[in-house]
Every structure is written in C-alpha cells, then in structure tokens.
Amino acid sequence: MVSHSQSLKPALDAIGKAIDQRFDRLIPVPEDSRARLYEAMRHAAIGGGKRMRPLLVVAACDLFHVDRERALRVAIAIECIHVYSLIHDDLPCMDDDDMRRGKPTVHKAFDEATAVLAGDSLHALAFEVLADEATHEDPFARLELITALATASGPAGMAGGQMMDLVAEHELYDIIGVTRLQQLKTGALIGFCLEAGAIMGRIPDSQRTPLHGYARDLGLAFQIADDLLDVEGSAEKAGKALRKDEAAGKATFVSLLGVERARTQARMLIDQAIEHLASFGEEADLLRAIARFAIERDR
Amino acid sequence: MVSHSQSLKPALDAIGKAIDQRFDRLIPVPEDSRARLYEAMRHAAIGGGKRMRPLLVVAACDLFHVDRERALRVAIAIECIHVYSLIHDDLPCMDDDDMRRGKPTVHKAFDEATAVLAGDSLHALAFEVLADEATHEDPFARLELITALATASGPAGMAGGQMMDLVAEHELYDIIGVTRLQQLKTGALIGFCLEAGAIMGRIPDSQRTPLHGYARDLGLAFQIADDLLDVEGSAEKAGKALRKDEAAGKATFVSLLGVERARTQARMLIDQAIEHLASFGEEADLLRAIARFAIERDR
C-alpha cells in the first residue's frame, strides 16, 4: 500500500514547479542598483519549501471548479506573504536562523537590511497580485481576497501571533494560550487559503462553515506535527534548525501534552478535518490527502 | 506679511489632529499578549511628523470635492505605509537611528523584533483600510488605490529606492542617479498622494497630467529641501539626527550641486509645480500652499 505522503507527492511536485515558474516571471531582476533587492526576493521565493499554502489554495479552488491559472495567482499572493514572514522571522533580532528551506537565510546570503526590504517588497507584491483583474473578473472578489489576506497577516492574525511568540519566553502559556498563539501565527493564513477557494468560487458565507472547520482543525494538527518534528525530526530533512523552542523554554503542544498525547490529538484533529468535507465528493480528495499528509510528513 | 509656512499652519495642525484621532480609533490595544505590538504601532503612528502625505491626499481630494471623511481614510492608509517605512528604515541594520519625530525610535522604545512586526502590521493595515467600502462606494476606485499604493511602496517604488540608498555608499551616484533614487524612495509615495485625489474623484487618466507634473516637481523640491535641512538645519527642530549622508559619503543634491544651486533648483521646481495647477481655481490653493511650504519649512 502506498502511504498517503507518497500519494500527495505528484501534487506537491506540480505545485512547486508552478509556483517557481510564476515567481520567476513575477520578479525579473532589473538592470539597475535595485538588482540586489530582486535577487534577495528570488532567493527566498524560488525553489524550496513544501508550498503547503499554495497547494491548499489550489485544492480549495478545486472544490468550486475555479480556473487553475486564477487559483495560482491567489496561491502566489499567499506564498508572497508566507515567504516575507519567514524572511523577517529569521532575522537576528527575531528567531536568528541561518538556514531556511535548506539554503542560507536571506540575511545570511545577502545582509540584514536587504532582508528587511525583500520581506517588505514581497508583502506589497501580494496585494498588487490580488488587485489585478487577472485574478478574478469580479472586483468584489478581489477586494474580499485583499481584506481577508490583510486581516489574516496583520496584527489580528499572523503578526499578532508572532508577537505572542516573542513574549512566550517570559509568559509561559497553557494549552489555551498556545492554541490561541498558533491560531494567529499559522492558523490565520491557513484559514485564508480555504476562504480563498470560497471567495474565488463566489460561494456565500452561509456555505463556508465546512471550510472554516477544516481549516481550523488542519491548522492545529499541522502545528502539533511541526512541534513533534521539532522534537523528533531531522534538521537536514527540515532544512532548518530544530529544537529551538525547547532551548528557549517555550511552551509547545508537545511540552504541554507529551509526545503520545500530542500525536493522538493531531490524528483526531485530522479525522475531524476530513469529516468536515463529508458533503463534498471527489473534488475534495486533494484536501483530504493534504490533511493526511499534514501529520505524516517528515519535513 | 505672513510667511507661507505660517499660512499653512492651521491646515497642518488640523490634519495632525484628524490623523491622530483616526489612528487612536484604528489601533485599540487588545487585552492580551499582543498588547505590546499595538502599543508599538501607536508609539510610531500617533503624535508627530509633519503629516505632509496625509495633507497632500486631502488637498488632492479637495480638487475634486471628495468627501473629507473618505479622503482621510486614504490619508490614514498612506501614513500607515510612511510610518512602517520609517520604523524599518530606523532599524540598526538600516539607518540605525535613535530618534524620530522627537521621540525614541520604535526599536529603542520597545525592541528590534517588535519594531519589525509593528512595521509589518501597519503595512497590512494600509491595505485593509483601502479595501473597506467606507473608503469609496465604487469597488474599482478601491482596487485602483490598492494597486497604486502597492506599486508605489514596493520594489518598483519606495522599497526599490531604499535599496538604491543602501548601495549608495559603494556606488557614488551622479545627479541622474540621485534623482532616480529619490523619485523611487520618496517621489513614488508623493505621486500616490496626488493620484489618490484623481482616483477618489473618478477623474479619467487623460486629465491627470497636471497632478503628475505637480507631484514630480514637488517631490524633487521636497527632497532637495530635505538635503538642505540636513546640512543647515537643527536636529532639535527636525526631531532626528542630521548630517548622516555627509558622514556616510553619500551623494545628495547638495553635495552634487552645492547649497546655492540646490536652493535655486528647489525654487524653480516649486514655481513649476504651481504652474501645473494653472487650470485649477481656488480649490488648488492648499496644494499651492503646500508647495511653497515644502521649501520654506525648518523641519
């Protein structure tokens, strides 16, 4: 029997290639003294990462038969935001990481100032991509995407979660605190990926409940799996330093629940995530496969 | 005779108050561990600065009788972007400044990581504000604002200009290079302020030429005045450290042209900026006053 992780491999390879191609076209290096900035953006954006968020966007768009090329524009936008957040999180003043996706981090390969600007540039680029009429013919769809992405990535979402993470060393969270932190830090963007499918398909709010449930459960399970990999995984496969939370004395799902309970909890969440998709047919198979992959992956 | 700078004082005071009030409402401190992030955003955004960009937006909107409350939403969005760029530019890895607008910079008052996140949060907030229907009832107007602001602030605009500035210590620019640098670093956002008036007024592209001309000339004159203040001004009035370009050996309008020619050039550009407004009546008086103020100010 083929493992679920293996069955997702063709889809992961395909989205990786599609995203790289589009970033290559979107970020051409100019022949002037801004070249270094564009090279830094390309270093971070092209070649690497699981592309989980782009795949989630495409899978969510598949539910509603959204044109693939348009879905990929939204996928590029969310990856712009994700990559900008990685560049800034890796800075010496934040997590101070040297390796990311198996390559030197941007501030190592270039310098800190260029890393700040490359992150800022990808941040702006995300909104430029979404606002373009090539993303959706309906202006209200584009505006809804922009509002959802700005909210999910700003202080009420990802940036707020990152702030909670920064103070985690002084303020030891309980399970409710860690859950809230992760729902903001990673959950909000994962929620956007699913919401984006519904927005692109012009599905009314009242019919989005299954997607919200799937996103919430997947997001938490994904984070628990990350915490497990951080304790049990290989830095080589992960392409980044591990066991940093433990060293910093931060509470995680694993430190609070223990390895076994954390693993059980993640499996339960994934079963639940898949149950939310019960009303969908085979058009939701990719979302189901992603859910299983989320807790079986080794990086 | 009252000097032009004095005649602008009531307008500057009024816009300062209006922007502070709106930032106060827009950034309420939450009662959780994200509080520090919101406090850092408020520290940077509220109370201080000339609010030149917000005033330009309001003045450009006045040309086309745009509702003041809506114009102020666009003014808040551009100020979010301007403030985020100041926070990031002041970081130790960038310009390493301790004072800004007469207060400690965000990384001094808080810490570097919080400063990075506060900048990122204001960046996202700008687009959230523009996408809201309270900004304009026409979705195409909101989308045009978003595209224009993302382009003006990203690698093809402000961030690209900042990159050119970073390499300026190694790559000594001539007058064409410095002009290009400043057109990206500060000119692109000033251009947005004027463009925003036309977008809010739903003025067709073909009728925007005078605004583009005014913005281009004002932007350059404003920068030349900044370079002159950097050489001749008072750090106390400016609320920030001066004479840093000279110390870093960077080419500026003043180092390339000399003080006298730079001053003449700035005056000529301001005359030209005002000439672009010849087809407008008294509804352009605020823009005219801003142009004169740009080269008469002492901070």
pTM for this one? 0.96
User: Inter-chain contact A114–B160, Cβ cutoff 8 Å?
Assistant: no
How far B284 CA sits from the closest chain A CA (Å)? 31
- Closest partner residue to B163 (CB to CB) among A34, A171, A180 is A34
CA A44 to chain centroid, in Å, comes to: 14
Tell me how many degrees the CA angle B205-B209-B215 measures, rounded to the nearest 5.
115
| A254/A171 Cα distance (integer angstroms) | 17
How far B241 CA sits from the closest chain A CA (Å)? 19
- Closest partner residue to A146 (CB to CB) among B123, B131, B177 is B131
Instruction: Identify the residue among B26, B41, B93 best suited for mutation to test binding to A, counting A beta carbons within 10 A and taking the highest.
Output: B93
Q: Which residues pair with A103 in a beta bridge?
A: A100
Q: Is the pLDDT reported for residue B283 higher than 80?
A: yes
How far B8 CA sits from the closest chain A CA (Å)? 33
| B158/B151 Cα distance (integer angstroms) | 9
Taking residues A88-100, report their average pLDDT: 96
Q: Is the pLDDT reported for residue B234 higher than 60?
A: yes
**Confidence band, pLDDT 50/70/90 cuts, at residue B290:** very high
Per DSSP bridges, beta strands A103-104 and B99-100 are unpaired
Report the C-alpha dihedral over residues A92, A95, A96, A100, rounded to 10 degrees: -130
Q: What is the pLDDT of residue A248?
A: 83
Q: What is the pLDDT of residue A4?
A: 52
* A4-296 belongs to CATH 2.40.40.20: no
Lowest mean pLDDT among A228-232, B59-63, B197-201: A228-232
| B202/B199 Cα distance (integer angstroms) | 5
Q: Helix crossing, B68-90 with A112-131: angle to 10°?
A: 150
Q: What is the pLDDT of residue A1?
A: 41
What are the CA-CA distances from residue B137 to residues A41, A127, A140, A143 (Å)? 35, 20, 11, 12
| A70/A76 Cα distance (integer angstroms) | 10
- Closest partner residue to B143 (CB to CB) among A111, A139, A162 is A139
What are the CA-CA distances from residue B294 to residues B143, B203, B261, B265 (Å)? 30, 26, 17, 13
Q: What is the pLDDT of residue A130?
A: 98
- Closest partner residue to B34 (CB to CB) among A88, A127, A164 is A164
Q: Hey, where are the domains in chain B?
A: 4-296
Q: What percent of chain A has pLDDT over 70?
A: 98
Summarised one tens digit per residue, pLDDT across range B18-69 is: 999 999 999 999 999 999 999 999 999 999 899 999 999 999 999 999 999 9
Closest CA to A91 of A40, A144, A29: A40
Name chain B contacts of A172, Cβ cutoff 8 Å.
Answer: none
Three-state secondary structure call for residue A217:
helix
In this structure, what are the phi and psi dihedrals at residue A99, rounded to the nearest 5 degrees?
Answer: -125, 145
User: Inter-chain contact B116–A34, Cβ cutoff 8 Å?
Assistant: no
Q: Is the pLDDT reported for residue A274 higher than 90?
A: yes
- Closest partner residue to A116 (CB to CB) among B36, B88, B146 is B88
CB contact at 8 A, B66 and B137 = no
Closest CA to B42 of B132, B98, B109: B109
Q: What is the pLDDT of residue B159?
A: 98
**Confidence band, pLDDT 50/70/90 cuts, at residue B5:** low
**Confidence band, pLDDT 50/70/90 cuts, at residue A5:** low
CB contact at 8 A, B107 and B99 = no
Q: What is the pLDDT of residue B129?
A: 98
How far B135 CA sits from the closest chain A CA (Å)? 12
Q: Which residues pair with B100 in a beta bridge?
A: B103
**Confidence band, pLDDT 50/70/90 cuts, at residue A170:** confident
| A248/A263 Cα distance (integer angstroms) | 22
**Confidence band, pLDDT 50/70/90 cuts, at residue A209:** very high
User: Inter-chain contact B124–A88, Cβ cutoff 8 Å?
Assistant: no
**Confidence band, pLDDT 50/70/90 cuts, at residue B2:** very low
- E strand or H helix at B104, and its extent? strand B103-104
**Rg, chain A, Cα only:** 18
Q: What is the pLDDT of residue A2?
A: 45
- Output A168 or A6, whichever has higher pLDDT: A168
Instruction: Identify the residue among A90, A93, A106 best suited for mutation to test binding to B, counting B beta carbons within 10 A and taking the highest.
Output: A93
Q: What percent of chain A has pLDDT over 90?
A: 88
User: Inter-chain contact A125–B154, Cβ cutoff 8 Å?
Assistant: yes
Closest CA to A201 of A274, A138, A133: A138
Q: What is the pLDDT of residue B297?
A: 84
| A243/A53 Cα distance (integer angstroms) | 24
